Structure 1
Amino acid sequence: MRSLFTPSRIIVVIITFSLISFLWTFGLPRQLAEPSSPIIEHPADEIKVHDPIAPAPVAHTSHASIPKTKPTATLHKDRPKESDDHRWDDKTSKAGHTTEKTPVPSPKVSGPAGHDEDGGRWEDKEKSEASGTVSSVVFASASPEPVLELISSANTTTATATSTSSAAPYRHTAAPVKGFCKDVKNAQDVMVIVKTSKAEAADKLSGHLKGLLSCVPNFAIFSDHEGEIDGIQIHDALHEINSETKQKNGEFREYMIIQADSEYKPDAKKTKDLDKWKILPMVYRAYQMNPHARFYAFIEADTGLSWMNLLQWVDRLDYRIPYYSGAQSFINHVQFAQRGPGILLSQGAMRRYAKSYEERWASEWQKRIAKECCGDYILATALNDAHVELYTSWPLMQGEQPTTLDYTSKQWCAPAVTWHHMDDAALSKSWELQKKWTDKHGWEKPYLYRDAFEEYVLPHITAQLDNWDNLGSDTKIIANEGRQKELKGGKDDERAAKQKLEKAAGGSFTYKREEKKGSIKTDNGKDTSKDHKKDDNKGDEKDGDAKETIDWAQIGKMVKDGADSPKACAGVCQEVDDCLQWRYTSKGDGECHLSKVVKLGRKTENKGDSQIWTSGWMVDRIKEETKKWECKEVAWRFYQ
Structure 2
Amino acid sequence: MLLLSVPRFLWTLPRLLAAVVIIYGFLWVKSFPREIPKQSQPNNNQEAHTGYDDSNINPNRPVDPENVIVAIKTGATEAFDKLPTQLLLTNPRDFGNLLLFSDLEQDLGGFHLHDVLSRFNPAVMANNSDFDIYRKQQEYARLGLDMRLLKDELDTHPNWRTKGHNAAWALDKYKFLHMLELAWELRPEKDWYVFIETDTYLVRSNLYGWLAQFDPKQPYYFGNPTKNPHYSDGDTYPFAHGGSGFVLSGAALRWLAVNNRGAAGRWDADIEDMWFGDYVIAAALYEELGLNLTGVWPLLSGFKPTTVPYGPDVWCKAVVALHHVRPEENSAIWRFEREREDFRHIGTPLLFEELWKQFIQNEDLSAPRDDWDNLSSDFTNINYNILFKTHDPPKNSKQQRSEMNPAAPSEKPATPAEKPAAPQEAPAILDPEASVDSCLKACESQDHCMQWSYSSTPAPNFNENGETKCHLSTSFRVGGRKAPEDIPGQNQTNVQRTWRSGWRKDKFWSWAEQHRCNNIT
Please indicate the TM-score interval, normalised by the length of the shorter structure. 0.5 to 0.7
> Cα 1:367–1:42, aligned 2, differ >3 Å: closer, same or farther?
farther
Tell whether 2:150 aligns with 1:272.
no
Shift of 1:475: 4.6
Shift of 1:326: 0.4
> Cα 1:43–1:418, aligned 2, differ >3 Å: closer, same or farther?
farther
Q: Tell me, what secondary structure is at the counterpart of 1:221?
A: strand
Residue of 420, 425, 445 corresponding to 1:575: 445
- 1:623 counterpart residue number: 509
> Cα 1:250–1:44, aligned 2, differ >3 Å: closer, same or farther?
farther
Residue of 275, 281, 296 corresponding to 1:379: 281
> Cα 1:213–1:202, aligned 2, differ >3 Å: closer, same or farther?
farther
Tell whether 2:109 aligns with 1:239.
no
Residue of 133, 158, 168 corresponding to 1:254: 133
- 1:204 counterpart residue number: 82
Shift of 1:192: 0.8
Residue pair 2:318, 2:352 contacting (<8 A) in 1 also: yes
- 1:327 counterpart residue number: 224
> Cα 1:290–1:601, aligned 2, differ >3 Å: closer, same or farther?
same
Counterparts of 1:226 and 1:361, CA distance in 2: 19
Residue pair 1:395, 1:411 contacting (<8 A) in 2 also: yes
- 2:354 counterpart residue number: 451
Q: Which has the larger radius of gyration?
A: 1
Cα deviation digits, residues 596-618 of structure 1 (max 9, x gap): 22111113457998655443322
* Number of aligned positions between the proteins: 390
Tell whether 2:375 aligns with 1:471.
yes
Residue pair 1:302, 1:422 contacting (<8 A) in 2 also: yes
Q: Which has the higher contact order (CA 8 A, sep 6+)?
A: 2
Counterparts of 1:321 and 1:366, CA distance in 2: 27
Write the letter of the residue equivalent to 2:71: I
Tell whether 2:200 aligns with 1:303.
yes
Write the letter of the residue equivalent to 2:128: N
Shift of 1:270: 1.7
Write the letter of the residue equivalent to 1:582: W
Residue pair 1:206, 1:424 contacting (<8 A) in 2 also: no
> Cα 1:239–1:617, aligned 2, differ >3 Å: closer, same or farther?
same
Counterparts of residues 580-595 of structure 1 (less than 5 Å): 580-586=450-456, 591-595=469-473
Structure 2 gaps of 5+ residues are 1-27, 35-57, 152-165, 228-233, 378-384, 397-425, 459-467, 487-494
Cα deviation digits, residues 57-92 of structure 1 (max 9, x gap): xxxxxxxxxxxxxxxxxxxxxxxxxxx989xxxxxx
- 2:214 counterpart residue number: 317
Write the letter of the residue equivalent to 1:227: Q
- 1:290 counterpart residue number: 187
Q: Tell me, what secondary structure is at the counterpart of 2:248?
A: strand
- 1:597 counterpart residue number: 475
> Cα 1:244–1:45, aligned 2, differ >3 Å: closer, same or farther?
same
Cα deviation digits, residues 29-63 of structure 1 (max 9, x gap): xxxxxxxxxxxx9996279xxxxxxxxxxxxxxxx
Structure 1 gaps of 5+ residues are 1-40, 48-83, 87-122, 124-183, 480-518, 525-553, 635-640
Write the letter of the residue equivalent to 1:310: L
Counterparts of 2:187 and 2:135, CA distance in 1: 29
Cα deviation digits, residues 590-635 of structure 1 (max 9, x gap): 944332221111134579986554433223321332344443689x
Cα deviation digits, residues 518-562 of structure 1 (max 9, x gap): x979699xxxxxxxxxxxxxxxxxxxxxxxxxxxxx977x54377
> Cα 1:329–1:616, aligned 2, differ >3 Å: closer, same or farther?
closer
> Cα 1:614–1:338, aligned 2, differ >3 Å: closer, same or farther?
closer
Residue of 95, 99, 105 corresponding to 1:226: 105
Residue pair 1:226, 1:236 contacting (<8 A) in 2 also: yes
Residue pair 1:465, 1:615 contacting (<8 A) in 2 also: yes
Cα deviation digits, residues 333-360 of structure 1 (max 9, x gap): 4332121111101111111111244154
Residue pair 2:484, 2:499 contacting (<8 A) in 1 also: no
Write the letter of the residue equivalent to 1:458: Q
> Cα 1:410–1:44, aligned 2, differ >3 Å: closer, same or farther?
farther
Farther off after superposition, 449-458 or 615-624: 615-624
> Cα 1:416–1:444, aligned 2, differ >3 Å: closer, same or farther?
same
Residue pair 2:63, 2:211 contacting (<8 A) in 1 also: no
Normalising by the residue count of structure 2, what TM-score does the alignment of the two structures yield?
Answer: 0.66
Q: Tell me, what secondary structure is at the counterpart of 1:238?
A: helix
Counterparts of 1:572 and 1:596, CA distance in 2: 13
Residue pair 2:59, 2:348 contacting (<8 A) in 1 also: no
Write the letter of the residue equivalent to 2:511: E
Write the letter of the residue equivalent to 1:189: N
Residue pair 2:388, 2:427 contacting (<8 A) in 1 also: no
Counterparts of 1:472 and 1:361, CA distance in 2: 39
- 1:45 counterpart residue number: 32
Counterparts of 2:328 and 2:241, CA distance in 1: 23
> Cα 1:214–1:601, aligned 2, differ >3 Å: closer, same or farther?
farther
Residue pair 1:43, 1:316 contacting (<8 A) in 2 also: no
Q: Tell me, what secondary structure is at the counterpart of 1:259?
A: helix
- 2:431 counterpart residue number: 560
Shift of 1:459: 1.6
Q: Tell me, what secondary structure is at the counterpart of 1:297?
A: strand
- 1:135 counterpart residue number: none
Shift of 1:296: 0.9
Q: Tell me, what secondary structure is at the counterpart of 2:376?
A: coil
Counterparts of 1:523 and 1:463, CA distance in 2: 37
> Cα 1:466–1:189, aligned 2, differ >3 Å: closer, same or farther?
same
**Over aligned residues, Cα RMSD in angstroms?**
3.6
> Cα 1:278–1:562, aligned 2, differ >3 Å: closer, same or farther?
closer
Shift of 1:237: 0.7
Q: Tell me, what secondary structure is at the counterpart of 1:368?
A: helix
Q: Tell me, what secondary structure is at the counterpart of 1:206?
A: helix
> Cα 1:201–1:569, aligned 2, differ >3 Å: closer, same or farther?
same
Write the letter of the residue equivalent to 1:305: L
Q: Tell me, what secondary structure is at the counterpart of 2:244?
A: coil
Q: Tell me, what secondary structure is at the counterpart of 2:337?
A: helix
- 1:418 counterpart residue number: 321
Shift of 1:418: 1.0
> Cα 1:316–1:287, aligned 2, differ >3 Å: closer, same or farther?
same
> Cα 1:559–1:202, aligned 2, differ >3 Å: closer, same or farther?
farther
Write the letter of the residue equivalent to 1:617: W
Residue pair 2:427, 2:445 contacting (<8 A) in 1 also: no
Q: Tell me, what secondary structure is at the counterpart of 2:342?
A: helix
Counterparts of 2:198 and 2:308, CA distance in 1: 20
Counterparts of residues 139-154 of structure 1 (less than 5 Å): none
Counterparts of 2:305 and 2:353, CA distance in 1: 11
Counterparts of 1:627 and 1:523, CA distance in 2: 43
Write the letter of the residue equivalent to 1:311: Y
- 1:108 counterpart residue number: none
Residue pair 1:309, 1:416 contacting (<8 A) in 2 also: yes
Counterparts of 2:476 and 2:131, CA distance in 1: 44
Shift of 1:446: 0.8
Q: Tell me, what secondary structure is at the counterpart of 1:274?
A: helix
Counterparts of 2:251 and 2:446, CA distance in 1: 51
Shift of 1:587: 5.1
Tell whether 2:363 aligns with 1:460.
yes
- 2:272 counterpart residue number: 370
Residue pair 2:71, 2:196 contacting (<8 A) in 1 also: yes
Shift of 1:208: 0.6
Normalising by the residue count of structure 1, what TM-score does the alignment of the two structures yield?
Answer: 0.55
Shift of 1:213: 6.0
Q: What percent identity do the matched residue pairs reach?
A: 28
- 2:8 counterpart residue number: none
